[in-house]
Amino acid sequence: MATGARSPLTVVVIYPDLLGTYGDGGNGLVLARRAKWRGLDVSLVQAPSDRPVPRGDIYCIGGGEDGPQVRAASTLITDGTLTRSVEDGAVILGVCAGFQLLGREFPDAADRPHDGLGLLDVTTRKGTDLRAVGELVATLEPDAPRSSDGSGLPPLTGFENHGGVTTIGPGALPLARVITGWATEAGMGPRGHGGGGSSAPTSTARYWPETWRWPTCCWVGPWGPAGSASHSSGSRMKKRMLCGPSVWPGREL
Amino acid sequence: MAVKVASGINRLSRLLGRGSGTVIGGRVGLAVDPMLLAVLAKDCDVALVSGTNGKTTTTWMLVAALSEGDSVGVATNTTGANMPAGHVAALIGTRPVGTVVLEVDEVYLGRLIEDTHPQVVVLLNLSRDQLDRISEVRMLVERWRSVLGRLDPVGHGGSRTVVVANADDPMVAWAASTAPEVRWVGAGQVWRDDAVGCPACGGRIVFEASGSWHCDHCEFGRPDRFAWLEGDVLALADGRRFPVVIGLPGQFNRANAAMVAVAAPELVGTHCQPPVSIATALERLSKLHEVAGRFSTVQRKGRDIRLLLAKNPAGWTAIFDLLDESGDATSPVVLSINARVADGFDTSWLWDVPFERLIGRTVVATGERCRDLAVRLRYAEVDHRVVPDVLEAVDMAIGNAGRLSVATTSTPVEFLGNYTAFAQLRSRL
């Protein structure tokens, strides 16, 4: 919660029963553990879809299948807590389906559009190409979030597995550009900030409303330094994006 | 022609030492004649076994249940080559055959049903596994549903196809509910995290304390069961009860046995006279103690090493239950992870495995993706060592077990690997 006492730090994993298909529950665990190891008082809350969404400081929403994604979005809209929490300064780490449903619209299995939460100016449609599946590396945009000491974040690595393609509206900005992955192979090159009508695979880009404060710090996934792993991408988690205004001034994880 | 080509290539492959010769010949044979599987299976009594977890074990069990003494007379793909090329090889390798039991990769179930006109189809469970290939569990469910809906109640050769399906798994139930004839078995399904979203309407599946389930929005619910498992007893709706005392460990293997006990009597073709009874099937399962090395114990440096295979979150969770049930709480554990094509290239699923349950044990991480595993273990706060070479990892676990105390020198080492990691260890022991 952005108001009042900041302790304990509450990390909420949204609807692991609907949006936990691709290992994204690990995001909440990683955030909570790193906070704990830095001496922060932190609680990790799993929020199933049959109960009201609890108030939290960081929300993690993961990837899921088409049907459960529709259910999750409508339930979150009805619940209302997530939207109110973001207005109060909470942060969302949205990945895959969990990112798509934060936008204006996303498709179901039959390509019918469904309302998202509208927290991001992005729209997702079904792609016309084959499903995007494979290892992924993306470099952050120059004006993407930095550590509080000013250093840039290392490349994002992960594994993409999605059929949706997201269009960025004028009120959103990308997080990163794909250098290895489906996007480049499909000839979908990088595009400029806020370029309305341009598109990017949903799992590779990060957007946030320009009107919001730049994050002063953020942390995404447990990546290791290049070459730290014996094979391919090594220590890393899945595709992920961060959205929302910033986070914990002075409380970098 | 295609048969001769395929069996010739298999022989060549074995002679050249390029493999066990089960798949390459099948591939070539299918290239020569795409209908080769249908040709080979013609006039056979066929049973198919599919699902995410337990396919190989259940296939072995069904072969054992249908066999008196040794398994002569039943053609099967015991090596786990569960795609059409492997099926062709299995049928060619044991000709002439009458009874066929095939383990079938989930994606190929439709093709196998169409090509082999099975009398029995056993559907175990469906959960997340190799999602880089499967994409979504519900996509697979819909494919199964469509294929099973096309089954003819009076099928090939005047017989029918009976589907034996796990009623406790909503995904399997949705897929199989289109089939004309289903024997629903309450075999249990511990892993529920892929079944909460109703496959029928998008509502929410509610699991009741009794183990039953229903959708909160539509009429979809657990079907009426023909039989169900109550601990180690198989109870039938008609009141009969059979003890399930089998040679393999774990509740999930009792579940597999329950499926087999119901499936075996349904194979009633010309080659299975008279049909096997439930009691006979279960009695035969008591003599099965390992499956392709799985659940087996080997000796190394004077210590027992138990070999266990798990390849996805549901499977690992079941194996951890097995450790709690039949293992020693102080046993050192070697975990081995690869990410080859047969394993799935994406290791994200490691984050869904409750490795936290290993806290307090001696744990060694190995395999080609041992560092992905190590990151996961670190966040689970499981103390561990990383030893990339699998044999060195096992030896380190053996050494550590010896150092714990005098009382633990006989403690077995538990080896848990995913698909190709398991095969790598076996080939080097």
- Strand locations in B41-140, DSSP E? 45-50, 74-76, 99-103, 120-123
Which residues, other chains included, contact B332 with Cβ-Cβ below 8 Å and sequence gap of 6+?
A: B361, B362, B363, B364, B397, B398, B400, B401, B411, B413, B414
Cβ within 8 Å, pair B368-A224: no
The CATH code of the domain that includes B278 is: 3.40.1190.10
Mean pLDDT of B406-414: 71
Is B5 inside any structural domain? no
**A252 to chain B, closest Cα gap in Å:** 18
Q: Cα A234 vs. chain centroid, distance in angstroms?
A: 21
Residue-number span of the structural domain to which A223 is assigned? 9-243
Q: What is the pLDDT of residues B209-235, one digit of tens each?
A: 999 999 999 999 999 999 999 999 999
Whether B227 and B314 map to the same domain: the answer is: no
**Nearest by CB: B193 against A17, A224, A237:** A17
Q: H or E stretch including B366?
A: strand B363-366
Please check whether residue A4 lies inside any domain of the structure.
no
CB-based contact, A167 to chain B, within 8 Å: no
Domain end point (choices B228, B256, B285): B285
Number of separate helices (H) and strands (E) present in chain A = 5, 13
Contacts of A238 in chain B (CB under 8 A): 346, 348
| Res B255 pLDDT > 90 | yes
In the prediction, which pLDDT does B95 show? 64
Band of the pLDDT at A234, cuts 50, 70, 90?
very low
Q: Are residues B308 and B375 in the same domain?
A: yes
Residue B107 domain flag: yes
Nearest CA in chain A to B134: A161
Instruction: Tally the domains of chain B.
Output: 2
pLDDT in tens, B171-216: 999 999 999 999 999 999 999 999 999 999 999 999 999 999 999 9
- Same-domain status, B248 and B356: no
Least confident of A97-111, A147-161, B144-158: A147-161
- Residue B281 is predicted with a pLDDT of 95
- From chain B, the residues in CB contact with A16 under 8 A are 193
Chain B contact for A111 (CB, 8 A cutoff)? no
Q: A57-77 pLDDT, tens per residue? A: 999 998 899 999 999 999 999
Q: Which residues in chain B have Cβ-Cβ distances shorter than 8 Å to A106? A: none
| B30-73: pLDDT as tens digits | 988 889 999 999 888 999 999 999 999 999 999 999 987 665 57
B51 within some domain: yes
| B332 and B360 together in one domain | yes
Do A49 and B194 make contact, defined as CB atoms within 8 angstroms? no
How many percent of chain A have pLDDT more than 90? Answer: 27
What distance in Å separates residue A96's CA from the closest CA in chain B? 13
Q: Concatenate the DSSP letters of all residues of B238-287 into one string.
A: TS-EEE---SS-SHHHHHHHHHHHHHGGG--STTS-SPPPHHHHHHHHTT
The answer to whether the beta carbons of residues B212 and B275 sit under 8 Å apart is no
What pTM value is reported for the model?
0.85
A43: which 2 tokens? 């609680």
Residue among B193, B346, B371 minimizing CB distance to A161:
B346
The mean of the pLDDT values for chain A is 70
Closest CB from A50, A71, A161 relative to B135: A161
**Closest residue on chain A to B206 (Cα):** A50
B415 close to A (CB below 8 A): no
Domain boundary among B254, B285, B316: B285
Residues within 8 A of B (CB atoms), A 183-212 only = none
CATH number of the domain where residue B351 is located: 3.90.190.20
Q: Is the pLDDT of residue B126 over 60?
A: yes
Same domain, B186 and B91: yes
Cα Rg of chain A (Å, integer): 17
Residues B273 and B403 in one domain: no
My answer on whether B335 and B358 are in the same domain is yes
Local structure of residue A57 (DSSP, 8 states): S
Does residue B357 belong to any structural domain of this protein? yes
On whether residue B12 sits in a domain, the answer given is: no
Least confident of A82-86, A213-217, B25-29, B313-317: A213-217
CB contact under 8 A, A26 and B372: no
The residues with which B197 forms a beta bridge, in sequence order, are: B204
Segment holding B404, helix H or strand E: helix B390-404
pLDDT in tens, B144-176: 999 999 997 765 555 689 999 999 999 999 999
Contacts across the A-B interface (CB distance below 8 Å): 109
pLDDT, mean of residues A188-192:
28
Report the residue of chain B nearest A133, measured CA to CA: B132
Chain B closest CA to A170's CA: distance in Å? Answer: 31
pLDDT band at A230 (very low <50, low <70, confident <90, very high): very low
The reply to whether B277 and B307 lie within a common domain is no
Could you say which of B285, B317, B336 is where a domain stops?
B285
Q: Pairing relation of β-strands A105-107 and A91-94?
A: unpaired
Q: Which residue has the higher pLDDT, B105 or B42?
A: B105
Tokens representing A242?
């961060």
By C-alpha distance, the chain A residue nearest B374 is: A235
Q: Does B197 touch chain A (CB under 8 A)?
A: yes
- Whether residue A51 lies within 8 A of chain B, CB to CB, comes out as no
Q: Is A173 part of any domain?
A: yes
Cα B145–B146–B150 angle (5° rounding)?
110
**Could you tell me which chain B residue has the CA closest to the CA of A49?**
B204
A252 touches chain B (CB under 8 A): no
Contact A126/B at CB under 8 A: no
- Residues of chain A in contact with residue B204, where contact means CB-CB under 8 angstroms, are 49-50, 71
Considering CB atoms only, which of B132, B197, B349 is closest to A23? B349
Q: Do both B306 and B400 map to the same domain?
A: yes
Q: How many CB atoms lie within 10 A of CB B362?
A: 23
Instruction: State phi, psi for A227 to the nearest 5 degrees.
Output: 80, 5
Q: Which residues of A touch B213 (CB under 8 A)?
A: none
Best to test chain A binding among B218, B347, B350, B355 (most A CBs inside 10 Å)? B347
Non-local CB neighbours of A21 within 8 Å, separated by 6+ positions:
A62, A63, A64, A65, A68, B128, B131, B136, B137, B194
Between B372 and A214, the higher pLDDT residue? B372
Q: Would you say residue B7 lies in a domain?
A: no
Q: Do A238 and B369 touch (CB under 8 A)?
A: no
Mean pLDDT of the region B350-362: 94
Clarify whether residues B310 and B410 are in a common domain.
Answer: yes
The secondary structure of residue B208, as a DSSP letter, is P
| Structural domain contains residue B240 | yes
Residue B312 domain-assigned (yes or no): yes
Residue of A nearest to B138 (CA): A65
Residues B365-383: pLDDT tens digits? 999 999 989 999 999 999 9
The answer to whether the complex's ipTM is over 0.85 is: yes
The DSSP letter of residue B289 is -
* CB contact (8 A) between residue A23 and residue B351: yes
Same domain, B305 and B280: no
Residue A1 counted as domain residue? no
A88 in a structural domain: yes
Identify the domain containing residue B355 by its residue range. 297-428
CATH assignment of the domain containing A149: 3.40.50.880
Q: CA-CA distance, A245 to B238, in Å (whole number)?
A: 62
Number of domain units in chain A:
1
Q: How far apart are CA B267 and CA B275, in angstroms?
A: 7
B133 in the same domain as B57: yes
- Which of A22, A70, A231 has the CB atom closest to B368's CB atom? A231
Average pLDDT over residues B89-114: 88
In a domain, A121, yes or no: yes
